[in-house]
Amino acid sequence: MRVKDYLEKVAYKTTRKEEWMGAPVEEYRSKFDDSYITFVGLEDDVKFLAKHEITEELTHGVGFSPKENKWYGWSHRAIYGFTIGSTCKKGDVHYRGSTMEELEEDAIRFWKDEYHKNVRCEGTTEKDGNKYFIIKWEYADSVPNESLRGVTRAELVLVGEVGKGEWTAQTMGDAKQMAIDFCKGIG
């Protein structure tokens, strides 16, 4: 589907209420729920959505393709489609641990790579009404910035909601949930 035809089908043009850098901004918003789709002038950003005809229940970051019978989740970083039989495993963007311990393991796993050593969780803290894991590590000798080598650093990682852990989509409702989780996970 051509991008122009796609946008006519799924979106409408409007001027954003808030100005950007002192000027009004035109954007496309979803006919389904009025959520933001893209700015006028950046129509090429939705080529993938048009190509895969993600036309149903289109929201900011989630939509359904009747052509492919898939639910898609996306952000500016990535996009992925889910259907019956799609799986969710540890390490996947859409994975949410089913216990607090699994959520903690996932927060630690996110930071483990060749540049971070002794990655650990040192408890939780509350900030602005949200709960966070306190993740600490030391920079390894392999980090390119030599001034960071051996430095200890901490990061707050939002705990978020407990999920389903590892699972397989049995219904299209499950596939939609995976797309929603992917959208949240890829941010």
Residue 153 and residue 172 in one domain:
no
Model pTM score? 0.82
Asked whether residue 95 is domain-assigned, the answer is no
Per-residue pLDDT tens over the stretch 132-153? 999 999 999 999 999 999 999 9
Residues 64 and 9 in one domain: yes
Q: Is residue 56 part of a domain?
A: yes
Residues 153 and 170 occupy one common structural domain:
no
In terms of domains, do 53 and 15 share one? Answer: yes
Q: Are residues 70 and 143 located together in one domain of the fold?
A: no
* Per-residue pLDDT tens digits for 77-132: 999 999 999 999 998 999 999 999 999 998 998 899 999 999 999 999 999 999 99
The domain of 29 spans 3-90+165-186
Number of domains, the chain: 2
Residues 125 and 150 in one domain: yes
Same domain, yes or no, for 149 and 172? no
Residues 130 and 77: their CA atoms lie apart, in Å, by 25
